[in-house]
């Protein structure tokens, strides 16, 4: 997939194999390393060398410039972004998971999370990232972007990713998070009225939207009444399904440590998130994959 966009150098030292550089890139996403930190880790951690298919006895390992630049092309991250390879990586991983029966297509959970971006103006242009914006959540202001995802309602694995500035409403991306084969979609109360939007009516008019009740309205339920108690149980059931999307956000933010946007602009950050969500899918089913391999 990547080799056509990473031609081998014809002069100078022979370049490292495409697979080696891809594996190093994935290590950076797993552990949040910068290019200099990645170079040091490759020298210090034998497990990293093993994962990247670098022989322990090699006298030459990729330095930070080699990690930044893929042969004589622009930076690897830019190459992945410019050619839409992040999206292809996610699609390829998901195709493998579907073949193994780990992902179904009958239901989707949609949600979004805020990812902070540097708000400092101490840079060459003296301004914040123009593609990022601020929004208020609760009583706190946040500057950055939003990652919108659609996950499989059964397994919690991500199948679709979009990004916007932080001030974009979640509901505007709902139609872009569906793969088209859903029978039912689950979402929190921020998506109220989504089924009436023109793009939803045009794209998937028959989908059953299960939207959470407003928290304030749910508090007014009198659980001594059978009808109210039943509605409360239904809300708990919907919440248990929606919780699967939070597991994915936890992997990205806590397991991989991705709490802040690393680059300027949405395009580079979107490509990184696509790769990270592909890796989070593998991480979430790693035990089932290993059990299948051993069987």
Using the predicted structure, report yes or no on whether residue 241 has a pLDDT greater than 50.
yes
Q: Give the tens place of pLDDT for each residue, 81-122.
A: 777 888 999 999 999 999 988 888 889 999 999 999 988 777
d(CA 225, CA 46) in angstroms, rounded, equals 63
Average pLDDT over residues 140-169: 95
- Cα atoms in the 13 Å half-sphere on the side-chain side of 171: 15
Query: Which pTM value belongs to this model?
Result: 0.88
d(CA 248, CA 277): 8
**Helix/strand/coil for 177:** helix
CA angle 265, 271, 274 (to 5 degrees): 135
pLDDT in tens, 18-33: 899 889 989 998 998 8
Structural domains of the chain, ranges and CATH numbers in brackets: 3-82 (no CATH), 104-294 (3.30.420)
Smallest CA-to-CA distance from 145 within 128, 161, 131, 156 is with: 131
């Amino acid at each position: 997939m990547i080799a056509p966009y990473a031609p081998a150098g014809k002069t100078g030292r022979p370049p490292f194999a495409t697979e080696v550089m891809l594996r190093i890139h994935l290590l950076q996403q797993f552990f949040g390393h910068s290019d200099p930190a990645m170079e040091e880790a490759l020298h210090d951690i034998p497990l990293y060398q093993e994962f990247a298919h670098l022989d322990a006895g090699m006298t030459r390992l990729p330095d930070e410039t080699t990690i930044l630049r893929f042969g004589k092309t622009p930076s690897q991250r830019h190459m992945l972004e410019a050619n839409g390879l992040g999206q292809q990586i996610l699609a390829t991983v998901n195709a493998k998971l579907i073949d193994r029966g780990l992902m179904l297509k009958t239901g989707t959970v949609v949600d979004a999370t805020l990812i902070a971006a540097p708000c400092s103006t101490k840079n060459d242009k003296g301004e914040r990232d123009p593609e990022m914006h601020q929004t208020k959540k609760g009583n706190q202001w946040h500057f950055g972007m939003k990652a919108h995802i659609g996950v499989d309602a059964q397994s919690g694995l991500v199948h679709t990713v979009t990004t916007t500035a932080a001030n974009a409403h979640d509901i505007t991306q709902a139609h872009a998070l569906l793969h088209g084969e859903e029978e039912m979609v689950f979402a929190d109360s921020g998506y109220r009225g989504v089924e009436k939007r023109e793009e939803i009516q045009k794209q998937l008019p028959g989908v059953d939207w299960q939207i959470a009740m407003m928290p304030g309205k749910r508090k007014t339920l009198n659980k001594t009444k059978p009808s109210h108690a039943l509605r409360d149980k239904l809300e708990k059931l919907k919440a248990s399904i929606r919780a699967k999307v939070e597991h994915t956000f936890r992997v990205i933010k806590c397991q991989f440590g991705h709490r802040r946007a690393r680059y300027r602009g949405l395009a580079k950050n979107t490509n990184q998130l696509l790769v990270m969500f592909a890796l989070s899918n593998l991480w979430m089913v790693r035990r089932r994959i290993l059990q299948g391999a051993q069987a």
